[in-house]
Structure 1
């Protein structure tokens, strides 16, 4: 299983390099990760708010990384469904994403 921060970040670099644009793993354990994104101008909408695609991308990469801690290195896992509700205008500061795997079945994982 991929469970150390270094293993997960190396896995991202090697198998999903564009995912690095959505943050880096800072902490990890069995079935969970904490990722940090240093917000840059390319992540912002006019008015200085972090864009929805940036937040959704970060959430997607975080849960994908958390799943790797449960099933082992599996670069071909894909997202079947992702839902997000934007509750407030995010400020352009470092963003954190905490993802946790709730269930892993034979074909699906839920986080």
Structure 2
């Protein structure tokens, strides 16, 4: 499969288009499975010291968005149209979160992706997300 954006170009796009959150994420692997890290900070935590659900959702959403861009190129206006997320276990305190992202279908109008989120160093996922994106006409 041909990819139009590599880790560097994806990182640059994120920094340019979403500077308010770009520093939270690091792209650690590209290809059929995109790997994105959430650099967990104090403000990502909820009471009890675990990463909050909205931050795990953001990791999944950004991950699928970047996986789509990796294939299509910099399409800034692709938007989430459907999302489902299962929170399966509490993330390990003090660890970054790692998202493993796969695009299941990439059509002309819609893209469907799947994400598994892990605490760094753990093999059991803490969350799973499925999302659909609308792709603007080109």
Whether TM-score is above 0.5 comes out as: yes
Report how many residues are paired: 109
Q: 1:12 corresponds to which residue? A: 14
Are the equivalent residues in 1 in contact too, given 2:33–2:102 (CA < 8 A)?
yes
What's the offset of the Cα at 1:22? 4.2
Q: 1:100 corresponds to which residue? A: 102
Larger fraction in helix? 1
Unaligned runs of 5+ in 1: none
What's the offset of the Cα at 1:82? 1.4
What's the offset of the Cα at 1:81? 1.0
Question: Equivalents in 1 of 2:33, 2:20: separation in Å?
Answer: 21
Runs of 4+ in 1 over 4 A off after TM superposition: none
Question: Equivalents in 2 of 1:98, 1:87: separation in Å?
Answer: 15
Q: TM-score, normalised by structure 1?
A: 0.91
Q: TM-score, normalised by structure 2?
A: 0.74
Higher relative contact order (CA 8 A, sep 6+): 1
Larger fraction in strand? 2
Question: Equivalents in 2 of 1:75, 1:32: separation in Å?
Answer: 21
Unaligned runs of 5+ in 2: 114-138
**Greater shift in the superposed pair: 51-60 or 11-20:** 11-20
Are the equivalent residues in 1 in contact too, given 2:29–2:35 (CA < 8 A)?
yes
